[in-house]
Structure 1
């Protein structure tokens, strides 16, 4: 798993996690797995033609399989914020809900900007040109539209 419980404690106190989850580590594991999947969804482009316009495409598997010091600290921090949100949504035990929601929204916006190319991280692994060439889709298409008839 990309995140650890130690990572999570950099965003939320241990006693708060225990209060919210009532000591159930399964809830923490689910929140961290959900955060990882959410980060993956934002970093991965889909098959829309707009996504093949020359923007950087990140090697998401390499990013999320990195361990210890090889992990990108900014991606880890945003993943912690998202995992915190998944835990905080259960309860409001000594946590400022609005602040957690604002930080969650900011992380999602940043990840979307990263995916869309408004923000780039040079330290993240990228797919090589040969990987991109293996994809048969092209960013541009040729031709004309079908003739319109009023029938």
Structure 2
């Protein structure tokens, strides 16, 4: 897994994690997995949508999320654990300001949307090059055949 339980301590105190999860580490792992999946979804190119071929970088999501340790991209980790914190905070009434967690979550996801749209370019992330003609969008020109009501 790309995110590790210790990564959460960048955005939430250990005692708060313990208070929320009541010592159940599975809840932490579930929040991290959900955050990783959500982050992947923002960065993955949609090869079925021709808008993905508008010149924006197509990130190599598999390479990004297979990185370990210090090879992981710091800003992706930071935004992903912010999202994980939000997923974890849903479980609690601990001394965490929910509005602040919501605001940070909104900022992280808005930033990832900007990356997905190509408004933010991360040259530190690996990209993929599409050479296979089967994934290149096809374009057709012309008009439809005229409909004549069976006459």
Structure 2: gaps of 5 or more residues = none
Distance 1:119 1:16 in 2: 33
Relative to structure 2, which stretch is displaced further, 104-113 or 136-145? Answer: 136-145
SS at match of 2:58: coil
Shift of 1:70: 0.7
What are the within-5 Å matches in structure 2 for residues 59-74 of structure 1? 59-74=60-75
Deviations 1:65-107 (A, max 9, x none): 1111111100000001010011001113100001100110111
Q: Partner of 1:13 in structure 2?
A: 13
Matched, 1:78 2:69: no
TM-score normalised by length of structure 2: 0.91
Mapped partners of 2:28, 2:20: distance in 1: 10
* Unaligned residue ranges in structure 1 (runs of 5+): none
C-alpha separation in 2, matches of 1:148 and 1:85: 54
- Contact 1:53–1:139 under 8 Å retained in 2: no
2:28 maps to: 28
Higher radius of gyration, 1 or 2: 2
Judge conservation of contact 1:50–1:139 (CA < 8 Å) in 2.
no
- 1:41 is the counterpart of 2:49: no
Question: How many residues in Structure 1 have an aligned counterpart in Structure 2?
Answer: 148
Distance 1:145 1:95 in 2: 59
RMSD of aligned C-alpha atoms?
Answer: 1.5
Q: Normalising by structure 1, report the TM-score.
A: 0.91
- Which position in structure 2 is the counterpart of 1:97? 98
CA contact (8 A) 1:49 1:137 kept: no
2:132 paired residue among 127, 131, 134: 134
